[in-house]
C-alpha cells in the first residue's frame, strides 16, 4: 500500500506540471490584461507596470520565471490588490472557504448516508418516495438559484436567518450557504447509498444472515453497510473538491469573507497571479483527495490489491 501511494504521488508530478503550464498559457494568451480598464493608462505608466510584473518579457521567459518562483513557494504578487501577495490572500481567505466546505461536506455525508439507508430499507414505500423527490430538487436546481430562493424566503420574508454577510462570526450566517452547498451533495450521496444498499441487501450472504434469525439492525451493521459504502467513497473525494470550488460562487452570493471574493475579483480583472495561484491550490487538493479515496477504497474492498 505504501509503495502504491508513493507511485501515485510521483505520477502526480508531471500531471501537475502539465496542468500549471496549460493554465498559465491560457490566461496569458486570453484577450485583455490586468491593466486594461475603461480609462487607458498613460503609456509610460503602463510600460512601468508591465516591466514591474515581467509582462514585457517574452511569454516563454514569463513562464520559466513563474515556474522558478513556484518551485521556491512563491506564487507572486497580486496585480490588482495592491500590497498583497497571492500567498497572503490565500492564507487570509482559504481557511474560511475550507471551513465552509468541510461543514457542508460532513453534513451532506451524514444526511446522505442515513437517508439512503432509510430509503433502501423502505424500498417502494413512502420514505423512499420522499427521498426521490428531495433528490430531484437537490440535483435539478443549480446552487446560485437555490441560494437566491433561500435568501428570499428565509432571509427576507421569514427572517429566520441572515440573508448575507458575516457579522461577529455568528454561525447563523452559515446556515443558508451551508444548506446551499450540502443539499445537492447529500442528494447524490443518498442516491448512491440507496442503490448500493438495495444491491447488497439482495446478496446471498445477507439473505443467509437473515435466515439465521439475525435482526435487521445487526444485518445492516455487520454485513451491509461496509460493502454498500464502496461507491459512496468513490464519490466523496470528487464531491469535496466540488464543494470547495462551488463555495467560491456561494461565498460571493452571500458576501462571505472566503477566497471566493478574491478569485472572482481577480478573474474579472485578469489578475493572473490570484487566478493561477488559486487554480494550483485546488489542483493539488484534488490530487490529494483522489489519492486518499483510492487508499480508502482499497481498505473497504478486500478484493482490491495494489502491488
- Kindly report, residue by residue over 236-245, the tens digit of the pLDDT: 878 888 888 8
Residue 269 within a domain? yes
Residue 37 within a domain? no
**How far, in Å, CA of 172 to CA of 163, rounded?**
10
Residue 36 within a domain? no
**Which of 280 and 8 is assigned the larger pLDDT?**
280
* Helix, strand, coil share of the chain (percent; to 5): 75, 0, 25
Residue 1 within a domain? no
Q: What is the mean pLDDT of residues 197-226?
A: 66
- 21 Cβ contact list (under 8 Å, min separation 6): 63
For the stretch 49-106, pLDDT in tens is: 778 777 788 889 889 988 898 888 888 888 877 778 888 888 888 888 888 899 999 9
Residue 30 within a domain? no
CA dihedral 209, 214, 220, 225 (to 10 degrees): -40
The answer to whether the CB of 189 falls within 8 A of the CB of 116 is: yes
Predicted local confidence at residue 38, as pLDDT: 61
pLDDT at 305 over 80: no
pLDDT at 216 over 70: no
Predicted local confidence at residue 162, as pLDDT: 83
C-alpha closest to that of 90 among 100, 82, 98, 101: 98
Predicted local confidence at residue 142, as pLDDT: 82
Between helices 2-29 and 59-71, what is the axis angle to 10°? Answer: 140
**Which of 213 and 165 is assigned the larger pLDDT?**
165
Q: Give the domain CATH number at 217.
A: 1.10.3720.10
The domain tally of the chain equals: 1
Residue 25 within a domain? no
Residue 126 within a domain? yes
pLDDT at 166 over 70: yes
Residue range(s) defining the domain that contains residue 165: 92-300
For the stretch 247-283, pLDDT in tens is: 888 888 888 888 888 888 888 888 888 888 888 888 8
**How far, in Å, CA of 194 to CA of 232, rounded?**
10
Most confident of 24-28, 120-124, 133-137, 176-180: 176-180
Residue 82 within a domain? no
Amino acid at each position: 500500500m505504501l509503495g502504491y501511494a508513493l507511485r501515485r504521488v510521483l505520477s502526480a508530478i508531471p500531471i501537475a506540471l502539465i496542468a500549471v503550464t496549460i493554465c498559465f498559457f491560457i490566461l496569458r494568451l486570453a484577450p485583455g490584461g490586468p491593466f486594461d480598464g475603461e480609462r487607458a493608462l498613460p503609456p509610460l505608466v503602463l510600460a512601468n507596470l508591465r516591466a514591474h510584473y515581467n509582462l514585457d518579457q517574452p511569454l516563454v521567459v514569463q513562464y520559466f520565471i513563474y515556474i522558478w518562483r513556484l518551485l521556491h513557494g512563491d506564487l507572486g504578487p497580486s496585480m490588482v490588490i495592491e500590497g498583497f501577495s497571492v500567498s497572503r490572500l490565500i492564507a487570509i481567505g482559504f481557511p474560511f472557504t475550507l471551513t465552509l466546505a468541510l461543514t457542508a461536506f460532513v453534513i451532506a455525508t451524514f444526511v446522505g448516508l442515513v437517508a439512503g439507508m432509510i430509503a433502501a430499507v423502505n424500498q417502494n414505500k413512502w420514505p423512499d418516495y420522499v427521498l426521490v423527490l428531495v433528490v430531484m430538487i437537490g440535483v435539478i436546481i443549480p446552487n446560485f438559484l437555490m441560494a437566491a430562493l433561500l435568501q428570499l424566503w428565509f432571509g427576507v420574508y421569514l427572517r429566520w436567518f441572515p440573508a448575507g454577510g458575516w457579522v461577529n462570526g455568528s454561525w447563523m450566517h452559515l446556515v443558508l450557504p451551508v444548506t446551499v452547498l450540502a443539499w445537492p451533495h447529500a442528494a447524490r450521496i443518498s442516491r448512491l447509498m440507496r442503490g448500493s444498499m438495495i444491491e447488497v441487501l439482495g446478496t446471498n450472504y445477507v439473505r443467509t444472515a437473515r435466515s439465521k434469525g439475525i435482526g435487521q439492525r445487526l444485518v445492516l451493521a455487520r454485513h451491509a453497510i461496509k460493502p454498500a459504502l464502496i461507491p459512496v467513497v468513490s464519490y466523496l473525494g470528487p464531491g469535496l473538491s466540488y464543494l470547495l470550488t462551488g463555495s467560491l460562487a456561494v461565498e460571493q452570493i452571500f458576501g462571505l469573507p472566503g477566497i471566493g471574493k478574491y478569485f472572482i475579483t481577480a478573474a474579472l480583472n485578469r489578475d493572473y497571479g490570484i487566478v493561477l495561484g488559486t487554480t494550483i491550490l485546488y489542483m493539488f487538493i484534488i490530487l490529494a483527495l483522489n489519492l486518499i479515496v483510492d487508499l480508502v477504497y482499497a481498505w473497504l474492498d478486500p478484493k482490491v490489491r495494489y502491488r
